[in-house]
Amino acid sequence: MFRSRTKAPQHKKVDTIIGKDTTGNGQMDVRGSIRFDGCFDGTINADGDVAVGEGAKLKVTIHAFNIMIAGEVEGDIYASGMLEIASTGVLHGNVKVGSLRI
């Protein structure tokens, strides 16, 4: 009845980390994958994966391959791959994704 979809491989390494004591705003264009543990307001365009850590607070529009949310995100999410929201994750906004895991 249900078929398993083939998932594109997720990037195993994180190229950039935004630490928990870091805040920023504006537009960020990322080659590879990024993890946010701090705060950011603006737009994120990544050709890899975006991970939002448990203590992170973002007010953003995110365009990426896979997105994992364990913190707080307010904004719109566009993932050509998968959006995963952990039990600690909070998302307020619109989503357009290839697949969703909560």
Distance (Å, whole) CA 74 – CA 57:
8
pTM equals: 0.86
* Lookup: tokens for 99: 């697949």
Q: What is the pLDDT along the chain (102 residues), one digit of tens a residue?
A: 444 444 444 446 888 999 999 999 999 999 999 999 999 999 999 999 999 999 999 999 999 999 999 999 999 999 999 999 999 999 999 999 999 999
Distance (Å, whole) CA 33 – CA 102:
21
Query: Whose CA is closest to 80, among 102, 32, 48?
Result: 48
Residues with Cβ < 8 Å from 23, sequence gap 6 or more?
38, 39, 40
